[in-house]
Amino acid sequence: QRQLVQSGPEVKRPGTSVKVSCRGSGFIFKGSAVQWARQARGQPLEWLGWIVFNTGDTNYPQSLQQRVTITRDMSTSTVYIELSSLTSDDTAIYYCATIPGHYWGQGTLVAVSS
């Protein structure tokens, strides 16, 4: 069954970092790119970046370029997103997906609270 499975919910303190994983059936990622997006409650989707799985090339929006890092582990077909210097504005559901989004992860809630 083709699917993307994300890691569980996270609660973080302001100023810290969070790393969320996304594991896919191997053939989903082969030769393709994987994106990350997030959605705060009641807000639209926000694109966070992508990684080309085979090459490791990445691209991020200018607004987050200093704080976001996307990596991958080819041996486990897993993609990661790490976001640093967290604030309450980073509280959201984080999604991974293929490009375009034929397949999406189930979402991971990241809550930032003191």
**Residue numbers of the site for another protein (CB under 8 A)?**
35, 37, 44-47, 50, 59, 61-62, 95, 97, 99-102, 104-107
Least separation in angstroms between residue 1's CB and another protein is 15
**Minimum separation from the CB atom of position 13 to another protein (A):** 26
Q: How far is the CB of 108 from another protein (least distance, A)?
A: 11
Burial class (CB in 10 A: 0-12, 13-18, 19+), 11: exposed
